[in-house]
């Protein structure tokens, strides 16, 4: 997880060569954009790279949300566990084995013999 974060930060132009302090400042300025207290600072920032400002949080949040959110709750609480415990694995073993072998050999042979 932290590796992806580092890679993402390295790929961002504004963070290239920046020090921790600079990044912290940038993040702090971002919070000012969301909750503007000074009219001068938030206006100065978005003019530099508004595209990156919108992209960096959007892509990150969406990526984390998609990979971390739906799959985990769906598999655990979605009923995947219940289905497996209900006998899904019991029905899964004999079901695919029979139809796969039965229709493959007997029907054509029987049909040809009768004709």
Task: Give the pLDDT of residue 7.
Answer: 55
In the chain, the number of structural domains is: 1
Average pLDDT of span 78-103: 51
Average pLDDT, the chain: 55
DSSP 87: I
pTM of the shown model: 0.14
Query: Is the residue at 99 inside a domain?
Result: no
Query: Is the residue at 57 inside a domain?
Result: yes
Measuring CA to CA, how many Å separate 7 from each of 4, 10, 21, 105? 5, 5, 19, 55
- Residues 14-33: tens digit of each pLDDT: 555 556 677 677 777 776 66
Query: Is the residue at 81 inside a domain?
Result: no
Whole domain around residue 14: which residue ranges? 2-68
Residues written for the chain: 115
Query: Is the residue at 114 inside a domain?
Result: no
Res 49 pLDDT > 60: no
């Amino acid at each position: 997880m932290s590796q992806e974060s580092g890679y993402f930060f390295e790929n961002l132009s504004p963070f290239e060569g920046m020090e921790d302090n600079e990044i912290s400042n940038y993040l702090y300025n971002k919070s000012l954009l969301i909750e503007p207290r000074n009219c001068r600072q938030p206006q100065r920032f978005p003019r530099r790279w508004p595209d990156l400002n919108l992209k960096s949080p959007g892509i990150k949040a969406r990526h984390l949300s998609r990979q971390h959110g739906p799959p985990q709750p769906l598999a655990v609480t979605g009923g995947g566990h219940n289905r497996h415990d209900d006998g899904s694995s019991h029905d899964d073993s004999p079901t695919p084995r029979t139809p796969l072998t039965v229709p493959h050999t007997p029907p054509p042979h029987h049909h040809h013999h009768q004709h």
